[in-house]
A and B are shown apart, each in its own frame.
Chain A
Amino acid sequence: MTSTSGARAAPDATAGGPVGVVARGLAVRHGSRRSWALTGVDLVVEPGERLLVTGASGSGKSTLLAAVAGLLHDEGTEVTGELTVGGRPPAASRGRLGMLAQDPDSQLVMTRAGDDVAFGLENAGLPPEQIWPRVDEAMAAVGFVHGRDRPTHALSGGEKQRLVLAGALARRPGLLLLDEPTSQLDPGGAALVRDAVARVVADRAATVLVVDHDAAPWLPLVDRVVELVDGGLVEHGTGWRPAPRAAGLRLPAATAGPVLLAADAAGYTYRGTAVPALRPTDAALRAGRVLAVTRPNGTGKSTLALLLAGLRAPTTGRVDAAAGLASGVRRGGTAPHRWRAADLVTRIGTVFQNPEQQFLTGRLRDELALGPLRSGEHAAAARATADGLLERLGLTEFADANPFTLSGGQKRRLSVATALATSPEVLVLDEPTFGQDARTWREVVTLLAEQRAAGRAIAIVTHDADLVDVLADERIRL
């Protein structure tokens, strides 16, 4: 570190080399829980080393990361054993930490790219004349090519994550923590971020800890891999590869039936915009068939899901339900977007990318009974439906729990189950496997294959190539 004459010495955030992490017998239990989130974790990460921590959802990855980041102290959490970062307690080393988290939209502060990278340097009290050279250096290091004046709101998710990484890097951290940084990005965005990480970790100026349930893409970038299993740590040898998640999967067969729902040159343009979000598109959903809608990047495929699900009216073309599916609706004829919600839920079930947006009650059992009740089923029948689904999904022990307290995988299963509760003949799913670990992935795939075998028509919009491979009978590429 150089320091201009007269300026204060740079604070600890901007000085010193990579720092190591040492955990001995580390165990963590969260305030309200009976079981330990982590037990007996022994881990030594040498300064400059690059480590991947993987494991299924709920295995304690996030807890370990929060412990290393020094974020566990103010939550009524019990921590035993020893944990040091750079030889000091994690909370004392926070100034040497750089972090990249999952959500691109909740990590940027400033309105322009350069200002955002400068934010962490201003906080460190660096004199302004030293800030801009370091901003430029950090932006170049992550391959951010749009310049300092680029408005941050106009960036894609992948570019935002790159910028957050630049902001962390500008502070010259001794330890970089990457918390599933690609889990909310499409494949193009994920590639951008991994490319940026690859550039950044090459010189070993910082120790790197990547936490991700999806291990494979990180393997070329790390020195070693550990996996959290039942709260403990397993070290994987060199050359370890995660088992393909579709391995040995046996799915029930199905026969194709009639078309239940069809899009005829259906397109959508948002009011006040010139470019259509979805160009006129044809699609046919048949009973006992899975239609996969893919697109490398962008949002057009989610728009198609909204049209098929009867949630938006197409601005061009039309979406029509077959006579059988539309029979008995009280309003709207064959156009699903004009149906009443109570009629819609018994005919077309929809699962959003973010399960939490669809939860409306405080208990799992109520959540599953809600759809049947709204569509006019009696209380006893609705409850029986709910209990049956809870049992099938292995969630019976959580019947009275709040849906928001479930793990990510459990929330995903619950959101699919809520759509199934009203026995719709058509299912529309937006990225049902997004951000899910291998176990949940297999559960969701199996569940959907069972629905197909039961004669339902299924549309899935997804980036997930594995999902398309194992499940799709027909494909549309937008």
Chain B
Amino acid sequence: MTSLAVGPAPDVALARINPVTQLAAILVVTVVLLSSLDLVTPSIVVAAELCLLPAAGLTSPRAVWSRTWPLLTSAASVGVVNVLLSDDAPPLAGAALALRVVGLALPGVLLVASTDPVLLADALTVHWRVPPRFAYGALAALRLVPLLVVEFESVRLARRTRGVEGGSNPVAQARLFAGTGFALLVGAVRRGSRLATAMDARGFDSGVPRTNARGSSLHARDAVFLAGTVLVCGVAVTASISTGAWQPLFGG
């Protein structure tokens, strides 16, 4: 269960880049990937992103797969579906779409793998003036997610003790899943309100301007990181245009 737990991030290279810098870089990458439909741009961006995997501590194929399999499956299905459902889309267009999905989502995987959620909340409140009520409230809620997974298993077993199980009937399975989900929701709401009371009792959101014990600072390396991102995106766009692959989404 500990692998699910929301905890401090491991000491990896990417963790030294401020979370808001990473968010800004994600914004740059997103704009570039959404501006053209070609294959060259996402190929170069994804290649650069893959180079960052070790910096986020994702070195073994197993670690990479466990973090990215939902992403890879959905990217593959996006590509296949687009080729199948479109009259004139060549397989290459499907590959370009799939690669674009990977390119958009991989930075998020890198951020999550290398960032302590507390430091993310700190950075958001310090640098971007996100209200603490939102940032730390979301953080507290995030901590309850692993508990939900444990709880789901308990509720499922508890239902079997009452003679309720889906068996091999998919409709019955789906109904059971929905019922279990409802029981979990009830539990989550109760737990959430207890947590809110506990945070309240420690003066959270009581009108006093909040200080930050850890602080959050930006260094020269943050500027370098962002510049590097812009550079990679520039190279990708230049390569795409000069090879004639560029297919702007708007205008063109």
Contact = CB atoms under 8 A, between A and B. Distances in A.
A124 interface: yes
A349 interface: yes
Interface in B1-31: 2-3, 5-8
Interface residues of B, number: 55
A422 B2 contact: no
Contacts of B5: 151, 153-154
A461 B120 CA distance: 43
B107 interface: no
A121 to B, nearest CB: 7
A71 B161 contact: no
B205 to A, nearest CB: 8
Interface string A55-70: 0000000000000010
Contacts of B127: none
Contacts of A371: 162-163
Nearest to B154: A357
B213 A357 contact: no
B158 A171 contact: no
A131 B191 CA distance: 28
B230 interface: no
Nearest to A126: B211
Given A153-B7, A154-B7, A122 B154 contact: no
B147 to A, nearest CB: 6
B163 A120 contact: no
A120 B211 contact: no
B161 A345 contact: yes
Contacts of A425: none
Nearest to A167: B202
B118 A110 contact: yes
A279 interface: no
Contacts of A50: none
A315 B85 CA distance: 46
B191 A151 contact: no
Which of A103, A110, A171, A272 counts the most B-chain CB atoms under 10 A from its CB?
Answer: A110
B212 A128 contact: yes
Contacts of A20: none
Contact of A345 (B154, B162, B197, B200): B162
A151 B7 contact: yes
Interface stretch (A91-99, A384-392, A435-443): A91-99
A290 B213 CA distance: 54
B186 A404 contact: yes
A125 B210 contact: yes
B212 to A, nearest CB: 6
B35 to A, nearest CB: 37
Given A11-B208, A153-B2, A344 B161 contact: yes
Given A111-B6, A153-B2, A153-B5, A124 B198 contact: no
Nearest to B179: A360
A423 B199 CA distance: 45
B194 A125 contact: no
Given A103-B194, A358-B161, A123 B208 contact: yes
B243 to A, nearest CB: 46
A225 B215 CA distance: 45
A51 to B, nearest CB: 19
Contact of A122 (B144, B194, B212): B212
Interface in A102-119: 103, 105-112, 115, 118-119
B83 interface: no
Interface residues on A, range: 35 or more
A344 B198 contact: no
Interface string B152-166: 001101111111110
Contacts of B116: 111-112
Contacts of B3: 272
B157 to A, nearest CB: 5
Interface string A318-358: 00000000000000000000001110110001101010111
B214 interface: yes
A356 B158 CA distance: 10
A309 interface: yes
Contacts of A468: none
Contact of B163 (A71, A98, A131, A375): A375
A164 interface: yes
A107 B200 CA distance: 10
Contacts of A107: 194-195, 198
Nearest to A352: B158
B136 interface: yes
A288 to B, nearest CB: 23
A350 B208 CA distance: 50
Contacts of B203: 13, 95, 120, 123-124, 171
B234 to A, nearest CB: 36
A108 B143 contact: yes
Interface of A: 11, 13, 69, 71, 94-95, 97-99, 101, 103, 105-112, 115, 118-128, 131-132, 135, 149, 151-154, 164, 167-168, 171, 272, 306, 309, 311-312, 340-342, 344-345, 349-350, 352, 354, 356-360, 370-371, 374-375, 404, 418-419, 422
Q: Which 4 A-B pairs have the closest CB atoms?
A: A374-B163, A120-B202, A123-B203, A153-B5
Given A125-B209, A374-B163, 11 more contacts: A98-B201, A106-B194, A107-B198, A109-B143, A122-B213, A154-B7, A171-B203, A309-B161, A358-B159, A358-B161, A370-B164
7 contacts: A99-B197, A103-B191, A108-B143, A123-B206, A127-B211, A341-B164, A358-B158
